[in-house]
Amino acid sequence: MDIVQRFLNYTKINTTTNRQNGADGVMPSNLAELELAKLIKSELENLGIKNISLNEKSILIAKIPTNSKKSLPSIAFFAHLDTSAEQSGDTKAKIVSNYQGGDIALNDKISLKVSENAELKNYIGDDIITTDGTSLLGADDKAAIAAIVDMAEYFCLNQDIEHGEIVICFLPDEEQGLRGAKALDAKDIGADFGYCLDCCEIGEFIYENWNAGDCEIEFTGVSAHPMNAKGKLINSLLMAHKFISLLPSGEAPEYTQNKEGYFWVKGLSGNSAKTILKLDIREFDEAKYYQRMQFLQTMADYFNKIYDNRVKITLNDRYKNVFNYLSLDHMAINLPLQAFKNLGISPKIKPMRGGYDGAVISQKGIATPNLFTGGHNFHSIYEYLPVNSLKMASEVIKEIVKLAANG
């Protein structure tokens, strides 16, 4: 099947992640994710792949066995089934054929403007898949699914091309806390390393992301009527505000970029008797990440001395930097760079100020960098996907498999 048609077919199934169901522990949060997984499973079966499993959580795993007598690495490729909750309408994708520049009308009121998307000039002469201005496109991450299934089809139809074991895994609910990756049993994958396809324009390659944690601090005060509060009232709200005031100035999301870490005050709720403060902690360097976590613990300990143990702190790790499990000479980094070179693609290596499924999968023992899907403007009605970029996403992972066999 043509990769473009494959992608368009996937977009017709609305897999918007359901945050309420997710908060209630339901997986998949949207049953359409299971519907999409069943469609993909049938496609893989039609290619002749026999080792396929799909569980009730919508975790789909398929394995193409090696056809080589050599000892070759097993490589896994991951994508997620859900789309972001920013928009929940059905996708009505359309193709702009042979784009010749200028704004692209999504509907009679909304246009994809060159003034706001200067990179459009890079795609003159290409076909571009867009939304109709009422929904997401779903290239995040259905472009990845299409690219991976296209790769699987290639090796199934060309069995004379030597390759190691190829593992394919599609996961639910990435868009709300990497839930599918957290539910994944890495032993079911068994690969030496892997790749998520979950970043943007052609050439993007990510092997560094945040070490991420969160913190909840409960301040317990003493309530009193203001008419006789002197010497009795201990205001938990003011305790929380004092705590916030002691955080390093300038180390917040709105002041930082690139690899600069931060504390993010995410939530503050309560009253004079009890207040809950929620913080996110982000840092690329693992040692600095733990220093930030220790700083918060030390602050809480200090407050407990002042306020007679009225502060309770809870610190949690959320996900880790993939690079904690890699080095610059690792095959998982070198193979894509060589694939890019062979295919004439300029690599765009950048640190990711966020997380993705590979961060969790890497913690489970399968180092998993992140490769491009080709899409732009994820989580937006202005999301679009140049067709050549989609095709090259598939070509890159085909080339990775070939290079691993010949290296």
pLDDT tens digits, residue range 304-315? 999 999 999 999
Q: Bridge-partner residues for 264, per DSSP?
A: 280
pLDDT at 339: 98
Under 8 Å CB-to-CB from 101, ≥6 apart: which residues? Answer: 114, 120, 121, 124
| Predicted pLDDT at 379 | 94
> Is 80 annotated for ligand binding?
yes
Residue 407 clears pLDDT 80, i.e. is over it: no
Q: Which two three-digit tokens encode residue 338? A: 């060589």
Closest CA to 93 of 132, 127, 143, 128: 132
User: What is the spatial distance between Cα 320 and Cα 212, in angstroms, rounded to a whole number?
Assistant: 6
| Residue 225 labelled as part of a binding site | no
pLDDT digit string (tens) for 10-30? 999 999 999 999 999 999 999
Query: Domain 212-318 carries which CATH code?
Result: 3.30.70.360
**pLDDT bracket for residue 234 (50, 70, 90):** confident
DSSP 71: -
Kindly list the domain boundaries of the chain, sorted by start residue: 3-208+321-406, 212-318
Alpha helix positions (H), 136-285: 139-157, 179-183, 236-245
Please list the active-site residues: 82, 174
Q: Mean pLDDT, to the nearest integer, of 373-399?
A: 97
Residue 336 has pLDDT above 90, yes or no: yes
**Span 134-188, pLDDT tens digits:** 999 999 999 999 999 999 999 999 999 999 999 999 999 999 999 999 999 999 9
Check whether 285 is labelled as a binding-site residue: no
Same fold, 3-208+321-406 and 212-318: no
Q: Collapse the DSSP code of 30 into the 3-class scheme (helix H, G, I; strand E, B; otherwise coil) and give the result.
A: coil
Q: Are 360 and 368 in contact (CB under 8 A)?
A: no
Q: Is residue 376 annotated as involved in ligand binding?
A: no
245-293: per-residue pLDDT in tens? 999 999 999 999 999 999 999 999 999 999 999 999 999 999 999 999 9
Q: What is the mean pLDDT of residues 389-401?
A: 98
The DSSP secondary structure of 80-113, one letter per residue, reads: ES-B-TT--SPP--EEETT--SS-EESSSS-EE-
pLDDT of residue 300: 98
pTM of the model: 0.92
The residue with tokens 């085909």 is 398
* Cβ neighbours of 162 (radius 10 Å): 17
Output 403 or 225, whichever has higher pLDDT: 403
- Give the pairing type, strands 204-206 and 262-270: unpaired
What would the two tokens of residue 212 be? 């991420």
| Residue predicted with more confidence, 227 or 364 | 364
Q: What's the pLDDT score for residue 239?
A: 96
Asked if residue 215 has pLDDT above 90, the reply is yes
Distance CA 324, CA 259 (A): 15
Cis status, amide bond into 28, omega within 30 of 0: yes
Q: What is the model's pLDDT at position 390?
A: 98
| pLDDT score at 223 | 87
CATH fold of 3-208+321-406: Aminopeptidase (3.40.630)
The answer to whether 241 is a known ligand-binding residue is no
What's the CA gap between 268 and 280, in Å, rounded?
Answer: 12
